[in-house]
Amino acid sequence: MRSRQRMFAAVMRLLLKCLRLGRRRRFKLVRQAEQLWHYGHLCLRSLLYNSFTNGDVVLDSLFEPVYWLVDHVTRWFGVVFVALVIGLTSSIVAIVYICLLPLILQTYTPAWICWHLAYGHWNLIMIVFHYYMAITTSPGHPPQAKNDLTGVSICRKCIAPKPARTHHCSICNRCVLKMDHHCPWLNNCVGHYNHRYFFSFCLFMTMGCIYCSISGWDMFRDAYAAIERMKLLEKERLQVAANQTYYQTPPPTFSFRQRAFHKSVVYLWVLCSSVALALGALTLWHAALITRGETSIERHINRKERQRLQKKGKVFRNPYSYGSWDNWKVFLGVDMPRHWLTRVLLPSPHLPHGTGLSWDLPPCVTEQRAPLLAI
């Protein structure tokens, strides 16, 4: 009896030991699985972690395919936009020469004829010259040899130093000196060497459209009234043709030349007025930027910097602004009074001040620039 009890106790102790060992092994496997999970999670976070990452970076990463598509579409459509500008401008010039100029020569006084001929052709020459220079002049790029290049930052696309006021254009896939923006209507970037050509083209194109809209207002009203009268007579002619008897005759119709003349005048006035409003607003915007000594990109950068320093009780001052008047002189390249005629009112291919790599004080500036920060 006792031997049987001892045997039962020994079996029970062996069974409990086996259960204890199995539980320890199970806990050990669970701990190993948890360690592997935490290790894998840590490795994954180490690959993706960046102390500068925030919501804006994540949003930009998600929209990167959209940016890529827009950049490539804009690059391809640049040629189409340039052809559209040339085609529309040529159509307006053709209408003026074919339709309006003979009428001006027949009805206006000699003084008004001379003024229209002089101003119209001067404005046309300025538009053609500045548009051609804007699309063919390179905006300027940092040199490939980086030994003597002074950079304030590193371009994360080019992996190269960026001089001050230089930014990367994702459409051109290059860094551009004093980049303002990429203009699809030029199929080119607006930068250090062609910024003046771009603004002058916008200014003279706006002036030309306003000139055509004001000069052709009376012709537009007469042409619009004639088109409405043509529609009414066409409607009456169709009604008479449907109910025609032997004593009825259809009303007279306008000739093809008359129809083309009136529709061309309406087309000219509507197109010039629309372009004058849209391009005029863009020209005023860029004029305000030039007055402040900023580009379109620098406006956003300076606004954020101004808000950041304002919270610290400091005032931000643009280091590239020399005052409103001097900013215009630097932008237009006016070093002496006669340059307002030879470089502003007449076509001039002169280069801007500086190389776009460093920004020394131009000789035409009368006052020293303000410091970057002021307490």
**Amino acid letter for position 15:** L
pLDDT at residue number 251: 54
* Mean pLDDT taken over the chain: 82
Instruction: Report CA Rg, the chain.
Output: 37
Tell me, what amino acid is at 210?
I
The predicted pLDDT at position 248 comes to 53
Q: Would you call 183 a catalytic residue per the annotation?
A: yes
Domain hosting residue 238, numbered range: 62-243+251-362
Q: Which residues of 274-310 are buried (b: 16+ CB within 10 A; e: fewer)?
A: ebbeebbeebeebeebbeebbbeebbeebeeeeeebe
pLDDT at 11 > cutoff 50:
yes
CA-based nearest residue to 215, from 102, 120, 345, 90: 120
* Four-point Cα dihedral 322, 325, 330, 332, nearest 10: 160
Q: What is the mean pLDDT of residues 206-225?
A: 92
Q: Is the dihedral of CA 286, 346, 81, 278 positive or negative?
A: positive
Assess if residue 230 is contained within a domain. yes
pLDDT value at 255 more than 80: no
DSSP class per residue in 5-65 = HHHHHHHHHHHHHHHHHHHHHHHHHHHHHHHHHHHHHHHHHHHH--TT--HHHHHHHHTHH
- Which residue type does 132 have? Y
pLDDT class of 53 with cuts at 50, 70, 90: low
Of the pLDDT bands very low, low, confident and very high (cuts 50, 70, 90), residue 95 is very high
Cα–Cα distance for residue pair 82/305, rounded to 1 Å: 36
In a domain, 181, yes or no: yes
Tokens of 176: 């551009």
Asked if 95 and 269 count as a contact pair (C-beta separation under 8 A), the reply is no
pLDDT in tens, 21-39: 555 555 666 777 778 887 7
CA-wise closest residue to 131 among 78, 202, 81, 76: 202
Question: Could you tell me where the DSSP H helices lie in 110-247?
Answer: 110-136, 195-215, 217-242
With cut-offs at 50, 70 and 90, classify the pLDDT of residue 315.
Answer: confident
| Torsions phi, psi for 87 (to 5 deg) | -65, -45
Confidence category of residue 20, pLDDT binned at 50, 70, 90: low
pLDDT value at residue 156: 82
Give the active site residue among 183, 189, 212, 272: 183
- Helix 324-332 to helix 195-215 angle, to the nearest 10 degrees? 100
Over residues 242-263, mean pLDDT: 68
Whether 367 maps to a domain, the answer reads: no
The model's confidence at residue 50, banded by pLDDT at 50, 70 and 90, is: low
Residue 195, domain member (yes or no): yes
- Which one has a higher pLDDT value, 75 or 277? 277
CB distance 194 to 134 below 8 Å: yes
Provide the pLDDT for residue 289.
96
Task: Quote the tokens at residue 91.
Answer: 């159509």
DSSP conformation class of 351: P
Does residue 214 belong to any structural domain of this protein? yes
Q: What is the pLDDT of residues 160-212, one digit of tens each?
A: 888 889 999 888 888 999 999 999 999 999 999 999 999 999 999 999 999 99
Asked if residue 117 belongs to a domain, the reply is yes
| pLDDT attached to residue 246 | 44
**Would strands 153-155 and 315-316 be described as parallel, antiparallel, or unpaired?**
unpaired
Q: Would residue 32 count as lying in a domain?
A: no
Specify the number of domains making up the chain.
1
Burial 29-54 (b: 16+ CB within 10 A, else e): eeeeeeeeeeeeeeeeeeeeeeeeee
Question: Which tokens hold the place of 123?
Answer: 């404005």
Query: Would you mind telling me the total number of residues written for the chain in this entry?
Result: 375
The percent of residues above 90 in pLDDT, for the chain, comes to 41
Whether 9 is in a domain gets the answer no
